[in-house]
Amino acid sequence: MTPLEVIFWIASAVILISAIMMVTRRNLVHAALFLIVTLFGVAVYYVLLEASFLAVVQILVYIGAIAILVIFAVMLTRQVTNPGQLFNKHASLALVMSILVFIGLYLALSVWPEFSAVAPEADTAAAISNLGTAFFVEEDGQPVYLLATMTASVLLLIPLVGAIFVARQKE
Amino acid sequence: MIPLSNYLIVAAGLFSIGLYAVLARKNAIMILMGIELMLNAVNINLVAFWRYLTPENVSGQVFAAMVFVVAAAEVAVGIALIMTVYRRRDTVSADEINLMKW
Amino acid sequence: MDINLLTSILFTPLVGALIIALLPGKNKKTTRIVALVVSLISLVMAIILWVGFDGAVANADGLKFAQEFVWYEAINSTFYVGVDGLSMTMVLLTTLLTPFAILASFSITDRVKAYMALFLFLEVGMLGVFMSQDLLIFFVFWEIGLVPMYFLINQWGSPKGERKLWGGITVANRTYASFKFMIYTMAGSLGLLLAIQMLGVVFHTFNLPEIVAGWNAMGGEEIILGWVTVATAKKVAFWAFAIAFAVKVPIWPFHTWLPDAHTEAPTAGSMILAGVLLKLGAYGFLRFVLPLYPAEAAASANIIAGLATAAIIFGAFAAFGQKDFKRLVAYSSVNHMGFVLLGIAAAAKMAGTEDAVIALNGAVLQMFNHGLSAAGMFFLVGVIYERIHTRDLDEMGGYFPLVPIYGGILIFVSMASLGLPGLNGFVSEFLVVRGSWPIFTFWTALSMIGLLFTGAYVLKGIGKTLHGPVNEKHSDHLTEINKRELFVIVPLMVMMLWLGVWPGWLLDVINKASMALLEMLG
Amino acid sequence: MELTNLIIWLIPLPPLLAFFFIVLFTNKNNKLSHSIAVGGAGLSFLGAMYVFYQALTTNHFAEHPFGNAITWLNLGDKPFEIGVMIDPLSAIVLFFVAITVLMIFIYSIGYHNYGQPKGDHDKKGFPPHGAAQDGHTVLSIEPMYARFFAFIGLFAFGMFTLVVSDNLLTLFVGWEIMGLCSYLLIGFWFGKDSAKNAAKKAFMTTRVGDVFMLLGISYLFTEAGTLSFKAIFTEEMISHLAHADSYIPGLSVAGLAGILLFIGTVGKSAQFPLHVWLPDAMEGPTPVSAMIHAATMVSAGVYMVIRMFPLLQAGGHGELTTAMTVLAVIGSITALFAATIAVAQNDVKRVLAYSTISQLGFMVAALGIGAYVAAVFHLVTHAFFKALLFLGSGSVIHGMEHGVLHTGNHKVDPQDMYNMGGLSKKMPKTFWTFLIGGFALSGFPLITAGFWSKDEILADAFANGHMGVFWTLAIAAFLTAFYTMRQITLTFLGKARTKEAEHAHETPATMTTPLIVLAIFAIGFGWVGVPEHFPGIGGILPNWFHDFIAHGLPSFIHFETIHFSWTPLITSLVVALGGLLTGWLVYRNATTAENDPIKKLLGPVHTLLKNKYYFDELYDKVLVKPLAVFSEKVVYEFMDRKVIDGFLHKVAELTFSLGTIFREKFDLPVINEFFGDGTAAMTQWFGEKIRKIQSGNIQQYMIIAVLGAFVALFAFWMTLN
């Protein structure tokens, strides 16, 4: 057991348990808090995987923005606590299906030759700068992901405008 | 060393849990949160594949970054929709939002 | 693609029909005037065409004012219109009669808009048949002509009378007549369509001159379509064509639709039916049967001549046996069209001789003449019918003193129909008899019985309406022919007299066309 | 020459223009109408006289007749020409036609009571009934006065056209126009059923001949390639036609064409057996009878056949050809046959009608035996005296009508000779002129024209040895004289047998003047043709007529000069004088129709004659009625309605029942109920079941979707495993 493995197992446990907790909470604020915990676990994963940029983004965007947004939504809809049934009538079927999907995923992945691959050595320090370069800088005169970046920005902008439009209180 | 399979299995589990939230919870906000879980599961996979299979190539991380963008947009729109429905119908229960039948 | 004069003549009535369809229907007067004006525009253009006809340059197929553009590329059908002397004569007849028929139908008050639109549509169909040089286009127009006529008879026909059919079924006369007209002609057209398709498949074109040239280049033993010899195919196709046209002419014994349709149609419908529609069949023989199947036509000429004689004789007898004035006139068409057929048969048999040219001249002139006189006769019957609402000759009589002008006109037109020398009918009948005599001596001699009885039924018509003591039954309602009606009949009378005294202006054109046609055959 | 040709072209036109003018413009104005008509006839008369004068004074006229032609049509490459031609024959015919037509026109003014008041009860279509004036009933004007002049104008146009034609086609045009006019004029009083039927009969009977004639024209045109007289009557053409075989064995083309054309004459000139229309034609006004019998129609028939003489004699070389034999036989039969009927008629006009038929038979028979000049001569003289007789009889009838109106007894038939008698004193002008006409008809020796022409026919027949024809015609001539004298005696001589006859009145000058003019010609015209060898007076006057006419024939036809013989001369003297004398002796004391001396003498034969050998009845039974029944019942009702339509209906019925069977046995149960309705029901059932899935619950949908995802994953695993 290397320290890294220990961290991994702890993180895995946190992710899975808090996810289950989130799903089963009656109080939506609690559920949101468990979501945050789960997301934090995922951020730890990113660190373990040496994707430090993404880990930071995970914390900033997800925990800092999305989770807060969700909590606001919970507050605004005044549905903090669900008075009636927590799950719908297909809940048991849904559980079966979810487990089936998990099994399916496992089976499908398990037959893949790279399933148990081991991480190669890599210069992960250079990865961040490589990422930045790939996003914005031309390489051999070709901006590799510039178009994708721009598209993503627009993609983000338009739904936000749309969201405002949809949610606008009509007179 | 941690093999790739570990990450994948956890991601699969996370995905299934999120799926269960989407399929079974009545509250629309909970469904939205389930979707977030699923997206995170996907992201874990993307990053894990990048690290284990093609660490020299940045595209795995770029994909993950794209998923972030999609997730943010999705939440924004989703919540706006939920707010609207709530204002109209005074509920966010997915059971009751069933006008699109027949 | 520029639109030439011929095409304009063809489509002017169509435009007119559309205009009428778009006009508000309440103003009947406007509708009538528009229809009349449109048909007059066509007439004026046709006259311009006629005047310029002699000087116009013919194309390689011998057609003047020709226009051709691709219509349906996949099967190589082109919109090919053009006229030679035969078509020109018929185009002139059609455009001439239509305004008069429209003027004659000013007395129609029921659904004027639909009526006039249908009428103009009918003109398009007829003109199209006379102008088409492409078999497919021809067939389209051929069928187009049917539809308006069906509705004219069915909707505006005489409302009285029923006919008993089998099994106690009783239908209104006009329903019966229109149905018979439609089904009979359609049945004839079926073979025609098949034969046209066969030609299209063999030659990969529907262009008539090309097909004629193609046929002529083929030997009789050549196999076409993979299994049939040219000779057999020609024989079958000949009969398919001949029967389609025979029904339309109509040749005895395919004629029984005619008296029914003519009798039940509204006055203007009968005018056009007798004046132009019957000519479609005869024209079909000249334009399609003779050039496409000269040998077969020559071989079957005896049969056709025999049937034509039967039409002449039995048509005259049947006309003489009528009590219904309009039916009498209708049967006279059978009688007169028999002469057309006799002339055509003679020309088919002996193409290349002088007799054939004379016979063909006579036949074509007879087509034109019959168009004038039959239209005139039907109109006059209509005039009297509109007043006294009966066509029964036994209920008329002695009207001459009451309606002297009408009476004089009736005698005049009857005499033209009878073939009195000095009026139009004589010239053509004489030419037909002269041309057929050396070729079908026996049939021609026999047909004189028909000519004799032509006199009998014409005199019966005049005698039963005008002469004798006044029949008081309906005479109160009888009023003199009015101005509008005079406008219809007087130009026709002038044409009759003109053609009787000086047929040269028309016959010269026909003569050249006949010679060209027969040269091609012989 | 140019002027003459132009005038020839113009001769027919004035009456035609008069016709159109009257019909279109002046029909309301009686005076203007008759002025135009008479003026038109006058212009034609002047033109005709000018042309006739030119013909007389032109040297070598016979070799170079007047006339020219224009292209009327193009048939193939050949032009078809029509034109005018005046040769000796047409010149002489034009001469008498113009005179008689003008006289008849003038006469009509008086005949139709111009200047008299309108009748009180007169209706269009009926003869005038008289009008009340100053307490008397007087003659009233014809209600369709203007129309009459229009019609006779057209009639004259037809005749002039026929005469000036240089070809058979335009001749036929004039011929048929006259047919129409005869129809219109015989049926002038169309309100009367008898007139209507007579008109129809006249038209139809002559049309029988006409259609044969049309065939003859076509045949001739076919064989000769032309219809121009000049072109046909050349030696080569005639010899060609005479030697070409026709469709009938033993008959040359010329013979067959000639016979076909002659049948036209049989119809038009009322030869046996198509004579039946002519007596009935008396239904028309009397000027019309004169027009038809003298000036125009029947003369036209004979004119045509005379015109065709070169064709008829073709191939005969002086002997009788088949065609000529036919003519001779038909002509002789007609002459005798009609004369016998005339003997038994009491109607003043009907006697004349049969005499016309008979005299036309003379002409035809004369032509048949080759007596060309004699035939023409008789045609001309007959035209004059027959016009005279008809107009005279019209004058008599008119006078009688006057009497009838005076007494008011409308039962008295003003045309029945037994109602007359003693009119010579009442109507002297009419009497004397009628007497001249009657004597001319009888062939009263030396002074009358009829004698010279009839004598020439008999002489010709005798000289050429046609004894059958000779004796037949001699008997006919005797009968002619007899019935003529019978007529004169009954009408004019003796005492008035009825009150009406006592009150008869001479007719106005418009009627009597034409009578006098025609009487002059009826006497004088005979003197232009006195044979040179005639004992006593032969050679005093040159036989101008013979020279003039005979030279008109193509030079290749030769005539042998007839040697004088006493037999025919004596015969014609005996029959003429004997007939007249017998007639007078038998009838001078006749009283009523029942006591007719001939009737007693002949008994049942008289009934046969009186009923015209029952020809009308025979035709009616054998032809007219059966054909009417045949038309209506057999052709129309049986053939068309029953057989042809019946067949069509059977086809329709079969199709209809086939359709019904298809519908009821196949469409309804199989297609509709099984395939159609079955499919629909199944779909509906399935839809009912499956619609429950469509709950609108998204989560439910997703569960199903996820199931799909699982299946996909599982399948992936299965394939790779």
The predicted model gives C151-165 an average pLDDT of 86
Range of the structural domain that residue A70 is part of:
1-82
- CB neighbours of B93 closer than 8 A, spacing ≥ 6? B26, B27, B28
CA C216 to chain centre: 29
pLDDT for residue D538 is more than 80: no
> In the structure, what pLDDT confidence band is assigned to residue C381 with cuts at 50, 70 and 90?
very high
Q: How confident is the model at residue C346 (pLDDT cuts 50, 70, 90)?
A: very high
* D374 in Cβ contact with D550 (< 8 Å): no
Same domain, D545 and D507: yes
How do C170-172 and C162-164 pair as beta strands? antiparallel
pLDDT in tens, A96-112: 989 999 998 888 888 88
pLDDT at D76: 81
DSSP track, D567-595: HHHHHHHHHHHHHHHHHHHHHTT---GGG
Which one of D595, D612, D629 terminates a domain?
D612
3-state secondary structure of C247: helix
Instruction: Indicate if D522 and D557 belong to the same structural domain.
Output: yes
D247 inside 8 A of chain C by CB: yes
- Identify the H or E element spanning D479: helix D467-492
Provide, as residue numbers in chain D, all residues whose Cβ is less than 8 Å from the Cβ of A97.
Answer: 703, 706-707, 710
Burial status of residue D340 (CB atoms within 10 A of its CB: 0-12, 13-18, 19 or more): buried
How close, in Å, is residue A102 to chain D by CA atoms? 9
Chain B residues touching A124 at Cβ < 8 A: 55
Q: Kindly state whether residues D537 and D668 are assigned to the same domain.
A: no
Q: Of C330-339, D40-49, D274-283, give the lowest mean pLDDT range.
A: D274-283
Of D182, D214, D348, give the one whose Cα is nearest residue D278: D182
**Per-residue model confidence (pLDDT) at position A79:** 62
Mean pLDDT lowest among C145-159, D128-142, D161-175, D239-253: D128-142
Q: Is D450 in the same domain as D483?
A: yes
ipTM of the prediction: 0.71
Range picked from D56-70, D427-441, D533-547 for highest mean pLDDT: D427-441
A129 and A78 part of one domain:
no
Quote the CA–CA distance of D125 and C204 in Å, as a whole number. Answer: 69
Residue D351: which domain range? 157-612
Answer whether residue D108 is part of any domain.
no
**Residue C1 pLDDT:** 45
Question: CB D191 to CB C314 under 8 A?
Answer: no
Tell me the average pLDDT across C336-349: 92
Amino acid A75: pLDDT: 78
DSSP assignment of A82-110: --S-SB-TTHHHHHHHHHHHHHHHHHHHH
Paired tokens of C376 = 């005139």
CB contact under 8 A, A49 and B48: yes
Burial profile A55-73: b = 16 or more Cβ within 10 angstroms, e = fewer: bebbbebbbeebbebbbeb
Cβ contact C287:C86 at 8 Å:
yes
The H or E element spanning position D351 is: helix D348-368
| Phi, psi angle pair for C81, to nearest 5° | -120, 150
The string of pLDDT tens digits covering residues C267-307 is: 999 999 999 999 999 999 999 999 888 888 999 999 999 99
For residues D134 and D132, give the distance between their C-alpha atoms in angstroms, rounded to a whole number: 7
Nearest Cβ partner for A160 among B48, B52, B76 = B76
Tell me whether D604 touches chain B (CB under 8 Å): no
Residue D608 shares a structural domain with residue D633: no
- pLDDT (average), residues D55-77: 85
Domain count, chain A: 2
Average pLDDT over every residue of C147-174: 86
Of A142 and C30, the one with more pLDDT: C30
B vs D: CB pairs below 8 A: 27
**Are D634 and D583 within one domain?**
no
Q: Are D271 and D330 in contact (CB under 8 A)?
A: yes
pLDDT tens-digit series, residues C38-67: 999 999 999 999 998 888 888 888 888 888
* D223 located within any domain: yes
- What are the pLDDT digits (tens) for D454-472? 888 888 888 888 888 889 9
pLDDT tens-digit map of D652-701: 888 888 988 888 888 888 877 787 788 888 888 888 888 777 777 778 88
Each residue's pLDDT tens digit, D430-456: 889 999 999 888 888 878 888 888 888
**Residue A82's pLDDT band (cuts 50, 70, 90):** low
Locate C405 and state its tokens: 């002008």
* Three-state DSSP class for residue C65: strand
Residue A171 is predicted with a pLDDT of: 55
Choosing from A64, A82, A100, the residue where a domain stops is A82
- Residue A83's pLDDT band (cuts 50, 70, 90): low
Tell which B residues from 17 to 56 touch D, by Cβ distance under 8 Å: 19, 22-24, 31
- pLDDT tens-digit readout, D513-523: 888 988 988 88
Instruction: Verify that A72 and A13 share a domain, yes or no.
Output: yes
Asked if the structure places residue D387 within a domain, the reply is: yes
B4-89 has which CATH code?
1.10.287.3510
Q: Report pLDDT for D560.
A: 67
D396 and D270 together in one domain = yes
Checking if the pLDDT of C110 tops 90, the result is no
- The 10s digit of each residue's pLDDT in C197-241 is 999 888 888 999 889 888 888 877 788 877 888 888 889 999 999
Q: Is it the case that residue A170 has pLDDT exceeding 70?
A: no
Number of Cβ pairs closer than 8 Å across A and D?
Answer: 40
Rounded to a whole number of angstroms, the distance from the CA of B67 to the nearest CA of chain A is: 10
* B23 with D706: Cβ contact below 8 A: yes
* Angle, CA B52 vertex, CA B46 and CA B55 arms, to 5°: 85
- Structure token digits, residue C306: 């025999």
Residue C2: predicted pLDDT: 59
Joined together, the tokens standing for residue A12 give: 């895995």
Closest CB to A111: pick one of D699, D709, D720.
D720
| D324-375 pLDDT tens trace | 899 999 999 999 999 998 888 888 888 888 999 999 999 999 988 888 888 8
Q: Are residues D546 and D590 in the same domain?
A: yes
- Residue D687's identity, in one-letter code, is G
**Residue C79, beta-bridge partner list:** C69
What per-residue confidence (pLDDT) applies to C196? 92
Cβ D649–C165 below 8 Å, yes or no? yes
Per the prediction, chain D carries an average pLDDT of: 86
Q: Phi and psi of C50, rounded to 5°?
A: -60, -45
Whether residue A99 is contained in a domain is answered as no
Predicted local confidence at residue C150, as pLDDT: 92
Contacts of B17 in chain D (CB under 8 A): none
For residues A75 and A140, membership in a common domain is answered with no
* Residue B16 CA neighbour count, 13 Å, CB half: 23
Instruction: Examine the pLDDT at C158 and tell me if it is beyond 90.
Output: no
Chain D CA closest to residue A102: D710
In this predicted structure, what is the pLDDT of residue A141?
Answer: 62
pLDDT of residue D449: 84
pLDDT-derived band of residue D512, with 50, 70 and 90 as boundaries?
A: confident
Both tokens of D154, joined, read 């057209």
Q: Over pLDDT 90: what percentage of chain D?
A: 11
> And the tokens for C381?
């019957």
Q: What is the pLDDT of residue C414?
A: 93
Q: Do A108 and D713 touch (CB under 8 A)?
A: yes
Instruction: Say whether pLDDT at D596 is over 70.
Output: yes
Contact D7, D70 (CB under 8 A): no
Residue B66 C-alpha, separation from nearest chain D C-alpha, in angstroms: 24
**Among A147-151, C17-21, C511-515, D478-482, where is mean pLDDT lowest?**
A147-151
Q: Do C358 and D76 touch (CB under 8 A)?
A: yes
Total number of domains in chain D: 2
Do A73 and A1 belong together in one domain?
Answer: yes
